[in-house]
Amino acid sequence: MPAVVIANNGDVPEFEGRITFNVIVCVVIAACGGLMFGYDIGVSGGVTAMDDFLKKFFYEVWERKQHAQENNYCKYDNQKLQLFTSSLYIAALIASFIASKTCSKYGRKPTMQLASIFFIIGVALTTFAVNIEMLIFGRLHLGLGVGFANQAVPLFLSELAPAKIRGALNISFQLFITIGILIANVVNYAVGKIHPYGFRISLGIAGVPALLLCLGSLAIYETPTSLIERKKVEEGRAVLKKIRGVDNVDREYDSIVHACEVASQITQPYHKLMKRESRPPLVIAIVMQVFQQFTGINAIMFYAPVLFQTVGFGSDAALLSSVITGLVNVLSTFVSVVLVDRVGRRALLLEACVQMIITQCIIGGILMKDLKITGNLPNGDALVVVIMVCVFVAGFAWSWGPLGWLIPSETFPLETRTAGFSFAVSSNMLCTFVIAQAFLSMLCHLRSGIFFFFAAWIVVMGLFALFLLPETKGVPVDEMVDRVWKQHWFWKRFFNDEQAFEGRITFNVIVCVVIAACGGLMFGYDIGVSGGVTAMDDFLKKFFYEVWERKQHAQENNYCKYDNQKLQLFTSSLYIAALIASFIASKTCSKYGRKPTMQLASIFFIIGVALTTCAVNIEMLIFGRLHLGLGVGFANQAVPLFLSELAPAKIRGALNISFQLFITIGILIANVVNYAVGKIHPYGFRISLGIAGVPALLLCLGSLAIYETPTSLIERKKVEEGRAVLKKIRGVDNVDREYDSIVHACEVASQITQPYHKLMKRESRPPLVIAIVMQVFQQFTGINAIMFYAPVLFQTVGFGSDAALLSSVITGLVNVLSTFVSVVLVDRVGRRALLLEACVQMIITQCIIGGILMKDLKITGNLPNGDALVVVIMVCVFVAGFAWSWGPLGWLIPSETFPLETRTAGFSFAVSSNMLCTFVIAQAFLSMLCHLRSGIFFFFAAWIVVMGLFALFLLPETKGVPVDEMVDRVWKQHWFWKRFFNDEQARQKAFLLTRWLTESGSSIGSGRDSSRMNKSQAGQASVQENHEVLKHAHTSYRHPVANLSSAYRNQCCNVLRAITFSNNWIQKRFFGFVSCDHWNCKCASTLVLFFAGWILKMGFQCISCLPETKNVPIDLMVERFWKQRRFWNRFMDK
């Protein structure tokens, strides 16, 4: 066989070797373990369709079959008959754990030999069985053989195969399973008419693949990994050379030795398997097996003849149909062999999910429509069922079938590989046992619904593969942790490579957090009190007489009775003032610190409280609200930054969320106060407004006793004080790493004299976009509209004034308790998981509220009591979802993602965006409620759909990342945002270009002389010198020659001339009129680079199917561009 060299298409060099005859022989013989398993799957279903077999061992079922009018779905429902199939799997489950030990202690090869011996014993017992007990006993021995084989063979294949074709060779196990099924179906069809012992021939032939495995395994090699793991080092190296066909196997050998050394330190692999870092491959292994079985494939393959008889095929025709499906199974598995190492694992899995869902639904629909309790399907429908079964089997056979074994066998590190794979095998056998034991009963009771049951599982499988399954194509098995798990967006959180800063949660930190979070208490109380007082008749009568008068009319339009621009201005005026204040607060935060800014916030707020409490007219009331807005703007700018910079990275999320927690507590307190003073006439509302000064007073006085953040102190050149504070809040003396990180960030920040100008730069866009969009989305959930106007809303749907205030107290309590959920979970499950879950929750509740109001709330009158109660419950569920997600995280994420040099400026955009959107919503909500009616809830639901997609695709995970390392560890690693950063390597390579240009000027020529070079000289310059430039320099139009010195600009022009010399048209129009000693040279070269870059950027970004080529040198495009793209790299020569 010709040698195939294993090539590399990535940054990491691959192991040397080729596909040798030795490897092929070993693979074919080992895959006979799959032949055993597959034949048994096929023969189990086949013999259960033979009357002789049923009459001998399951007389009741045979007798039931004779009755033509017997229930189509239930005539095969018999626990003993299902036990005949499923008993094998319970034995295989137990055997897999024993096999794990034998694989580790004695090797993969002896385990396969033991599997074949058990299987041969089982074949003898089942073939010559005289009663059901002997039959089941034989099935148990077959199960032991299957358990040992399914444990050893996939591991053997994964460890033996070269990384680049590991998928294809490992799939030979599944391929041989499908061949076994096909052979069994053919045998069943052939011997079905041999009475009365045809079934014994079918059962006896199962011994052939077991005999092949038993004898063949004597002639094959043990895997090098197993040999080295068992201290047979030289033998392992020798085998590695033989199976790779080359002498230089040092890299792969060293990799295996290293893995074995790590594994040797683990004396309790099952204990190691329970550790946090072992969870990703363990979860994937178990879930893959569960999903593989809950596609329903084994149920269909076990019972294909039975199923086809059920829909109207005769006994012989049913066996023939199962032969056809078996053939489809084999051929489709070949598709997987060809494609798995080209398109990857995930693409096959996702495509198959779509295919299997469609076919399951079609089969279920046909059976539901046309298959009655008795009788058969029409011939046309029966044919469609067979075709759909074949399409379903094809989808499974090139995806979840082979990959369900491949992925678990290749993803465990060596130290837990056999133990972990035993969990995979046992999970497979357990699920197969459950399905085999339950399928006929489920078919009897669910009827056609069983296919929709499996279709629903496939939907879950598809989502799992899409979001949680990493791509393992081309990765050596012993490098899986570093190159797969640690790079995956979700699973990487289980691996702690980064050394965390030292420190603990100190009393000082807790005190600082509680006092600073009073800024949230101010804001929250104001949100709650605004809606509460607008529901009080005394307040409306004093300041908004028109609204109060409109309320007195019982038949007034439910949706419009509160629609008044001045009433909305009372709420929204605060936010326009806060918007302006946030920009001023950005300056004070940077220049004077976070702590003085919080003090200033409390002073403005206290002034506002005094004005609103004592207001005698609407003008004074609004003027007071503007002062409250200034306080909120300053507090919302300073407090989240203060909390993020003060908190240890590992609990930064929880401590930062205390701001949102105190907002919710403020809302709750305001609701309780409103409810308590609602009956105090006529000045109850003034008490509500006046109590707002309490949290402001707490913040003002408390901030005198707390520390400034170390970041702010060091940023303002108070270095020693910053270091001292850092020691106090961390509770340890060794704070060097965190201190150095802050100092470095401050040094970078000090170079930025215009932070707002810096914020407009390309590399600042990712955190800026995230910050603004998070605020927009936070408000367009509709939460503030609901919290402002909760009492008004509840009155609208039929609650009385007191009951409405009480209901808003309940929602406020839900808000507080749910925020505690976020405090607990945000640093455990991460930010994105909470956001995505909440989106689903909020969409559902908004749609239910909108649906109820659309259906039952008329223009006048109230909702029925039951519906009104459902609305309150749904509002509570909505508030709960918001309170543990977009509420706190809308402040947390922007406060932690900006680099220090733009942190205060960037966060001012976040605060101002929040205030602007809150102003818009507060000002517009009652008018929107009037005009859109119930449609307003669908409006917000549509926004939440957009939010969910944004969080899913564009929001990076920031859990556990220090705030001053966010750029390098978050933005530059994100699939989309990393394109906005030009890293140091690019700048260094640009410097290499300029240096080369200086040193090589004489070889190219200068000034106008270079324009007179002949074509050969120009060719030499462009091919030789310019090739070296492009080889060593990583440049783009973002580093134009206009930024270079005069000498460098001249040399750049010379290079451009040489490159374009052969094209006279370009030469004359771009360079024929330019003197390189003149500044025009800079303009021309800059324009050329600018337009070239602009055309590339616009072209590639407009055509969505083409990826971005920015910053990639033209001569390095293949290596550094096409081979790095997941889709296109499959077309590159390996």
Peptide bond into 682 cis (omega under 30): yes
| pTM greater than the 0.75 cutoff | no
Summarised one tens digit per residue, pLDDT across range 344-387 is 888 888 888 989 988 888 888 887 877 666 656 677 777 788 88
Measured distance CA(816)–CA(819) in Å, rounded: 5
pLDDT of residue 1009: 41
Q: pLDDT, tens digit, for every residue of 927-941?
A: 777 777 778 888 888
What does the alpha-carbon distance between residue 661 and residue 822 come to, in Å, rounded to a whole number?
Answer: 9
Look at 75-89, 116-130, 505-519, 679-693 and tell me which has the smallest mean pLDDT: 75-89
pLDDT for 207 equals 94
Q: Quick one: DSSP state of residue 487?
A: G
Which pLDDT score, from 0 to 100, does residue 1055 have? Answer: 44
pLDDT higher at 124 or 781: 124
The DSSP 8-state label assigned to residue 679 in this structure reads: T
In the three-class reduction of DSSP (H, G, I as helix; E, B as strand; rest coil), residue 704 is classed as coil
What six digits make up the tokens of 812?
């406020």
Q: Given a cut of 90, is residue 1006 above it in pLDDT?
A: no
Residue 694: the pLDDT is 94
> Nearest to residue 647, comparing CAs of 563, 561, 711?
711
- Per-residue pLDDT of 636-673, as tens digits, reads 888 888 887 888 877 776 787 788 788 888 888 988 89
Q: How confident is the model over 960-969, as pLDDT tens digits?
A: 777 667 777 7
Name which of 50-59, 694-703, 977-986 the model is least confident about. Answer: 977-986
CATH 2.30.22.10 fits 509-977, yes or no: no
Q: Band the pLDDT of 67: cuts 50, 70, 90.
A: low
Here the tokens at position 1025 are 């010198």
For the stretch 514-570, pLDDT in tens is 999 898 899 889 888 887 787 788 888 888 887 777 766 645 555 565 667 777 778
Most confident of 142-156, 944-958, 1081-1095: 142-156
pLDDT at position 603 over 90: yes
Q: Integer distance in angstroms from the first to the last C-alpha of the chain?
A: 19
Instruction: Say what the pLDDT of residue 653 is.
Output: 67
Average pLDDT over residues 408-432: 78
* Residue bearing the bigger pLDDT, 998 or 593: 593
Host H or E run for residue 194: none
- Please state, in angstroms and rounded to a whole number, the distance separating the CA atoms of residues 455 and 300: 13
Q: Does 635 score more than 70 pLDDT? A: yes
The predicted structure's pLDDT at residue 481: 80
Yes or no: say if 396 and 358 are a contact pair by the CB < 8 Å rule: no
Does 1045 have pLDDT greater than 50?
no
Spatial distance between the Cα atoms of 765 and 357, rounded to a whole number of angstroms: 41
3-class secondary structure per residue, 785-841: HHHHCHHHHHHHCCCCHHHHHHHHHHHHHHHHHHHHHHHHHCCCCCHHHHHHHHHHH
Q: Read off φ and ψ for residue 547, nearest 5 degrees.
A: -65, -45
Q: What is the pLDDT of residue 10?
A: 38
**Percentage of the chain lying above the pLDDT 90 cut:** 11
pLDDT at 203: 92
Handedness of CA 1034, 1036, 1039, 1041 (dihedral sign): positive
Closest CA to 905 of 671, 585, 523: 585
pLDDT score at 793: 63
- Which residues lie closer than 8 Å to 574 by C-beta, 6 or more apart? 526, 530, 625, 626, 628, 629, 632
* Closest C-alpha to 42, from 279, 302, 291, 295: 302
For residue 12, what pLDDT is reported? 39
Residues 79-104 have a mean pLDDT of 82
pLDDT band of residue 787 (cuts 50, 70, 90) is low
Instruction: Give the model's pLDDT for residue 450.
Output: 82
Express each pLDDT in 473-508 by its tens digit: 877 766 788 778 887 778 877 776 555 566 677 888
CA dist., res. 924 & res. 943, Å (int): 16
Q: What are phi and psi of 981, to 5 degrees?
A: -115, 130
Read off the pLDDT of each residue in 276-284 and give the average, rounded to a whole number.
Answer: 85
244 against 922, higher pLDDT: 244
Name the more confident of 578 and 1103.
578
Binning pLDDT at 50, 70 and 90, where does residue 328 land? confident
pLDDT attached to residue 344: 80
Confidence band, pLDDT 50/70/90 cuts, at residue 124: very high
Least confident of 52-56, 246-250, 694-698, 1048-1052: 1048-1052
- The three-class DSSP label of residue 18 is strand
Q: For residue 309, name the pLDDT band (cuts at 50, 70, 90).
A: low
Model confidence at 1036, in pLDDT bands (50, 70, 90)?
very low
The pLDDT of residue 337: 79
Q: SS3 letters for 1075-1132? A: CCCCCHHHHHHHHHHHHHHHHHHHHHHHCCCCCCCCCCCHHHHHHHCHHHCCCHHHHC
pLDDT at 489: 75
Nearest to 295 by CA among 196, 363, 202: 363
Structure tokens at 979: 């394109």
State the DSSP code for 978.
Answer: G
Angle at 710 between CA 708 and CA 714, to 5 degrees: 110
pLDDT at residue 140, as a whole number: 93
The model's confidence at residue 128, banded by pLDDT at 50, 70 and 90, is very high
Q: What sign results for the dihedral spanned by CA atoms 1101, 1105, 1111, 1116? A: negative
pLDDT of res. 302 = 53
Q: How far is CA 298 from CA 45, 209, 601, in A?
A: 10, 20, 67
Cβ atoms of residues 804 and 795 within 8 Å: yes
Reading the block at residue 411, the tokens are 């993803």
With bands split at pLDDT 50, 70 and 90, how would you rate the model's confidence at 795? low
pLDDT at 1125 over 70: no
pLDDT given for residue 1112 in this prediction? 37
Average pLDDT over residues 997-1011: 41
Closest CA to 138 of 185, 190, 194, 203: 203
Q: What percent of the chain has pLDDT over 70?
A: 75
Confidence class for position 1116, pLDDT limits 50, 70, 90: very low
Q: What are phi and psi of 5, to 5 degrees?
A: -80, 135
* 680: helix, strand or coil: coil
**Secondary structure (DSSP) of 519-562:** HHHHHHHHHHHHHHHTT-HHHHHHH-HHHHHHHT-TTS-TTTTT
Pull the structure tokens for residue 991.
């410097």
Question: Where does residue 350 rank: exposed (0-12), middle (13-18), buried (19+ CB within 10 A)?
Answer: middle
Q: Does domain 21-67+79-494 have CATH number 3.40.50.720?
A: no
Summarised one tens digit per residue, pLDDT across range 149-163 is 988 888 888 888 887
Largest CA distance in the chain: 105
Mean pLDDT in the chain?
76
Would the pLDDT of 393 be above 80? yes
- pLDDT band, very low/low/confident/very high, at 605 (cuts 50, 70, 90): very high
Of 79-88, 481-490, 976-985, 1089-1098, the least confident: 1089-1098
Q: Is 231 left (phi over 0), alpha (psi -120 to 50) or beta?
A: left
- Give Cβ neighbours of residue 383 (< 8 Å, ≥ 6 apart): none
**Paired residues of 18 in beta bridges:** 5
Are 938 and 801 within 8 A, CB to CB? Answer: no
Residues 180, 23: Cα–Cα separation, whole Å: 22
Please give the pLDDT value at position 562: 60
User: Is 66 a residue whose pLDDT tops 80?
Assistant: no
**What integer is the mean pLDDT of 42-50?**
79
Q: Where residue 803 falls among pLDDT bands split at 50, 70, 90?
A: low
d(CA 747, CA 751): 7
pLDDT at 613: 92
Residues of the chain with CATH 1.20.1250.20: 21-67+79-494, 509-977
**Residues 1081-1108, mean pLDDT to the nearest whole number:** 42
Query: In this predicted structure, what is the pLDDT of residue 998?
Result: 44
Q: What is the pLDDT of residue 1098?
A: 41
Task: Give the model's pLDDT for residue 752.
Answer: 66
Range with top average pLDDT, 547-551, 714-718, 1037-1041: 714-718
pLDDT of res. 186: 86
Nearest-angstrom CA–CA distance, 82 and 306: 12
pLDDT classification of 624: cutoffs 50, 70, 90: very high
Closest by Cα among 401, 314, 427 to 65: 314
Q: How far apart are CA 187 and CA 204, in angstroms?
A: 11
Token pair for residue 155?
């591991």
pLDDT at 210 (0 to 100): 94
Q: What local confidence, expressed as pLDDT, does residue 1118 receive?
A: 44
Q: Is 1130 a residue whose pLDDT tops 60? A: no
pLDDT over threshold 70, residue 804 = no
CA distance 864 to 534: 24
In sequence order, what are the beta bridge partners of 5?
18
